[in-house]
Amino acid sequence: MQQEHVVVIGAGIVGAVTALQAAKAGYRVTILEPGEPGGEQAASYGNGAWLSPQSVIPPAGPGTWRKVPGYLRDPLGPLAIRWRYLPKVLPWLARYLWSGWTEARVLKIAQALRPLLADAPARHQALAEEAGVGHLIVRNGLMYIYPDRAAYEAEALGWRIRRQLGFAWREVERDELRQREPSLDPRYGFGALFEQGGHCRNPGAYVAALVQLAQRHGAVLQRQAATGFRIEGGRLKAVLTGAGEIAADKAVIAAGARSKALAAAAGSRVPLETERGYHAVLAAPEVGPRIPLMPSDGKMAVTMTETGLRVAGQVEIAGLEAAPNWKRAEILRDYLLKAFPGLPRDLPAERIKVWMGHRPSMPDGLPCIGVARDSADVVLAFGHGHVGLVSGPATAEAVLTILQRRSPDIALEAYDPQRFD
């Protein structure tokens, strides 16, 4: 029997693991990626590097609507909306606010995210070891840090929901925090430690290694951008590219923030938006955290990586085409210096590398995982927002069950691409 041909569009973390799993399952696999797998063009390259099963709380919650005027007024705040982009993003923004309007809605989203993130550090470690880069996955915990217990308790909703879902963490008081993180600014006096968490020491290199592993299993990488599909009678016949058609039996759209037009080409009009994120990396840091930290005042992930001390965060709603606002990366750098007083104040520019990328985000904080409206041969797998890296393996496993038309291990209804119709 002839092998079915699956074209995986996109070589980020979701596309890389999907291609690998499909090739191992016996499919003939082609990966379409115009850029370098694991390269700087991808959100998978520049994320906060956290493998955090507890990241189930969506960005919008009860009362977030009250902050929208501030988001518009402050172009350098932790979440900002560019005025000229506001008319275009208003429908998405309304759905975004509505999805977190009540605690019950936030809990429902968290419950849906839970299985995508469960056991993520172990899943990633197994994949990395198989790819020969096991050293890139570290499982020594993650910690949220606060000035004091009162600041921690002010975020009670998120902690309450995590506890409802069975998460456990250790509360770290001031003296223990000083012992654990001696280089941290003493203004931080409380921490919430997730000992089961992990991180990736080089997300870009990790994704590149997974693509190479998929190729060793027979996948073919083509440096092309997909532009659409030829679908006849509900069956996929070919994936369209600028260089012509690629005959295909199945296709997976895993192109991150650039998936919207491809989904529409297969009949699924989804409200996908880009949450632009930034990072700054300090090469050869004099001091830094022993485990990844997230300070409550900066809302950024601070993680030691192979290339230096990475501080990642910020959300900017400005679309795919607007130029970066590098002042946002400078803000992250300044937060880093405040958090670690042992870092020099007069850092030369060549020691800091900045980056901006596009988180593919759905307004309800849940990805799209399911078949396209015009053909069940086209599978959508994008829109993971802030949890793309951590949820990559579970997403790929879900996609494989769809390709094979068998019952998935986790319920997929919450991720249905048609849920906004």
pLDDT per position in the chain (421 positions), as tens? 479 999 999 999 999 999 999 999 999 999 999 999 999 999 999 999 999 999 999 989 999 888 888 888 887 777 889 999 999 999 999 999 999 999 999 999 999 999 999 999 999 999 999 999 999 999 999 999 999 999 999 999 999 999 999 999 999 999 999 999 999 999 999 999 999 999 999 999 999 999 999 999 999 999 999 999 999 999 999 999 999 999 999 999 999 999 999 999 999 999 999 999 999 999 999 999 999 999 998 889 999 999 999 999 989 999 999 999 999 999 999 999 999 999 999 999 999 999 999 999 999 999 999 999 999 999 999 999 999 999 999 999 999 999 999 998 899 999 999 999 8
Q: Where are the beta strands (DSSP E) in 283-351?
A: 293-295, 300-305, 308-317
Contact assessment for residue 284 and residue 278, using Cβ atoms and an 8 Å cutoff? no
What is the total residue count of the chain? 421
Contact assessment for residue 387 and residue 113, using Cβ atoms and an 8 Å cutoff? yes
pTM score, whole prediction: 0.97
Tell me, what's the pLDDT at 314? 86
Sequence-distant (≥ 6) Cβ neighbours of residue 332 within 8 angstroms: 278, 279, 280, 298, 300, 311, 312, 313, 314
Question: What's the rounded Cα separation, in Å, for the pair 37 and 254?
Answer: 13
| Closest CA relative to residue 362, chosen from 33, 37, 112 | 112
Element (H, E) at 170: strand 170-172
Contact assessment for residue 397 and residue 313, using Cβ atoms and an 8 Å cutoff? no
Alpha helix stretches (DSSP H) within 274-369? 327-339
Alpha helix stretches (DSSP H) within 131-182? 149-153, 156-164, 174-180
Sequence-distant (≥ 6) Cβ neighbours of residue 175 within 8 angstroms: none
Contact assessment for residue 157 and residue 61, using Cβ atoms and an 8 Å cutoff? yes
Tell me, what's the pLDDT at 255? 98
- CATH 1.10.287.90, applies to 5-62+108-415: no
Tell me, what's the pLDDT at 71? 80
Question: What's the rounded Cα separation, in Å, for the pair 181 and 142?
Answer: 12
Contact assessment for residue 39 and residue 204, using Cβ atoms and an 8 Å cutoff? yes
Contact assessment for residue 13 and residue 44, using Cβ atoms and an 8 Å cutoff? yes
CA 415 to chain centre: 15
Sequence-distant (≥ 6) Cβ neighbours of residue 47 within 8 angstroms: 203, 277, 279, 312, 357, 388, 389
Question: What's the rounded Cα separation, in Å, for the pair 91 and 190?
Answer: 39
Rg for the chain, CA atoms, rounded:
21
Question: What's the rounded Cα separation, in Å, for the pair 403 and 27?
Answer: 10
